C-alpha cells in the first residue's frame, strides 16, 4: 500500500462527527475510485489526507494516515505536497479567477520552483491543448470544463506522485466529463500517477478506475474491483439508478424511501 488510511475519525468544530473510523488503502500506480452520496464524508477524507482539515476547523480525533509507510497525519499541507508529492485538487474547480491561465500554472509551481517549470508547462499544454489557447485569459472567464482542466493542469505543475481529485465532474456536461476522465486515465497510465478519485458520477469514474470503495455516512461500506462494483446490485440501484428490482412509477418514486441499510 502506498497510501493507507487507518481507522480515521474526524470531527468538525469539535462537535460534528463526519468520519467514524474509515480505513482504506491505495496501491502504487492505482486509480482508486470512491463513490458515495452527499454528506458521506468523501471530501472530508481527502481534506484530512492532504492536511487541510484543520484549516476548515476540523480535527483528527483518532486514526492515522500513512504514505509510503510514514505517518503524514500531523504534517502541514505544504510539507505533504513538497516532501511526499501528494496534491489535492479541491472540488468545484479550484482555479484563481483573477489570474490568467498561465499565471495559474505558475502559481501552482511556486512551491517547487526550479528550471523545469517551462518544460512542465509545455507538458500540461500538451495534455490540455485548450489551455494554450487561453493562456493570457483570466481563468474566471474560462468555461467550467476548461477551468477543471486548468485545475488538473495546475496539480501537474506540483509534480504529484499521488493525486487526490475531488469530484472533477461537478457541473460538467457528460461529454466534457468523458474527455476529462480519459485524460485522468492517461495521466495514471503514462505518468504513473497514483490517483484517488472521489466522484458522484459513479458510472464514468468506475469506468476508468481499477478499484473502488463505497462510502456512506462516514464509513466505508463496500470495497471491490471497479468492474465488480459496476455489477453490484446495490451500487447499481443507489448510484447508477438502474437497479433491476421492481420498476417504480413516478408516483411511487416520490415516496420511495431507501430500504436498504448497509450496516
Partner 1 sequence: MDLLQVVLSGVLVGMVYALLGLGVVLVFRASEAFNFAIGEFLVVGAFLFFILFFDLHLPLLIALPAGLLAAGAFAAVVEKLTIEPLLGRNPISMTIITLGLASLLRASVQLVFGAHSYPFVMDLPDITLELGDMLFLSEQLWASLLSAAAFAMVILFLFKTRWGVAIRATSESQAKAMAYGINARLILLVVWALSGMCIAVAGIMISNFGSLTYLTAMVGFRAIPVVLVGGMDSIGGALVGGLIVGLCEAFVGAYIEPMGLIGFKNIAPYILLLMVLLVRPYGLFGTVRIERV
Cell of 212: 473502488
Which one, 128 or 239, has the nearer CB to partner 1? 128
Distance CA 42, CA 166 (A): 8
Which one, 122 or 252, has the nearer CB to partner 1? 122
Distance CA 111, CA 106 (A): 10
Q: How far is the CB of 95 from partner 1 (least distance, A)?
A: 8
Q: How far is the CB of 200 from partner 1 (least distance, A)?
A: 20
Q: How far is the CB of 157 from partner 1 (least distance, A)?
A: 8
Contact indicator for 196, 163 with CB cutoff of 8 Å: yes
Contact indicator for 157, 120 with CB cutoff of 8 Å: yes
Which one, 49 or 215, has the nearer CB to partner 1? 49
- Which residues bind to partner 1, rule: CB under 8 A? 50, 52, 55-57, 77-78, 81-82, 87-90, 94-99, 103-104, 106-113, 138, 140-141, 154-155, 157-158
Chain CA centroid to CA 86, Å: 12
Which one, 40 or 80, has the nearer CB to partner 1? 80
| Beta strand 219-225 pairing with 211-216 | antiparallel
> Which H or E run includes 216?
strand 211-216
Distance CA 89, CA 78 (A): 14
Burial 91-124 (b: 16+ CB within 10 A, else e): bebbbbeeebbbebbbebbeeeeeeebeebbeeb
Distance CA 185, CA 163 (A): 12
Q: How far is the CB of 174 from partner 1 (least distance, A)?
A: 20
Contact indicator for 197, 168 with CB cutoff of 8 Å: yes
Which one, 10 or 50, has the nearer CB to partner 1? 50
Q: How far is the CB of 103 from partner 1 (least distance, A)?
A: 5
Contact indicator for 42, 205 with CB cutoff of 8 Å: no
Which one, 27 or 100, has the nearer CB to partner 1? 100
Cβ count near 15 (within 10 Å)? 6
Which one, 135 or 138, has the nearer CB to partner 1? 138
Amino acid at each position: 500500500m502506498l497510501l493507507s488510511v487507518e481507522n480515521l475519525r474526524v470531527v468538525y468544530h469539535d462537535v460534528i462527527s463526519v468520519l467514524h473510523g474509515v480505513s482504506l488503502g491505495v496501491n502504487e500506480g492505482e486509480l482508486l475510485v470512491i463513490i458515495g452520496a452527499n454528506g458521506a464524508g468523501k471530501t472530508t477524507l481527502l481534506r484530512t489526507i492532504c492536511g487541510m482539515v484543520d484549516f476548515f476547523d476540523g480535527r483528527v480525533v483518532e486514526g492515522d494516515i500513512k504514505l509510503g509507510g510514514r505517518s503524514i497525519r500531523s504534517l502541514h499541507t505544504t510539507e505533504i505536497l513538497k516532501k511526499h508529492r501528494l496534491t489535492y485538487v479541491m472540488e468545484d474547480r479550484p482555479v484563481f479567477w483573477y489570474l490568467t491561465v498561465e499565471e495559474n500554472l505558475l502559481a501552482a509551481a511556486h512551491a517547487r520552483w526550479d528550471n523545469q517549470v517551462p518544460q512542465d508547462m509545455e507538458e500540461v499544454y500538451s495534455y490540455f491543448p485548450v489551455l494554450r489557447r487561453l493562456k493570457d485569459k483570466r481563468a474566471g472567464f474560462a468555461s467550467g470544463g476548461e477551468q477543471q482542466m486548468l485545475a488538473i493542469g495546475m496539480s501537474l505543475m506540483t509534480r504529484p506522485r499521488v493525486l487526490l481529485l475531488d469530484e472533477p465532474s461537478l457541473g460538467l456536461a457528460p461529454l466534457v466529463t468523458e474527455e476529462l476522465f480519459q485524460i485522468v486515465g492517461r495521466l495514471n497510465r503514462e505518468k504513473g500517477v497514483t490517483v484517488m478519485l472521489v466522484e458522484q458520477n459513479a458510472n464514468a469514474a468506475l469506468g476508468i478506475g481499477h478499484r473502488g470503495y463505497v462510502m456512506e455516512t462516514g464509513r466505508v461500506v463496500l470495497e471491490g474491483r471497479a468492474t465488480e462494483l459496476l455489477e453490484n446490485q446495490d451500487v447499481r440501484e443507489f448510484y447508477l439508478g438502474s437497479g433491476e428490482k421492481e420498476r417504480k412509477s413516478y408516483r411511487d418514486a416520490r415516496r420511495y424511501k431507501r430500504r436498504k441499510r448497509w450496516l
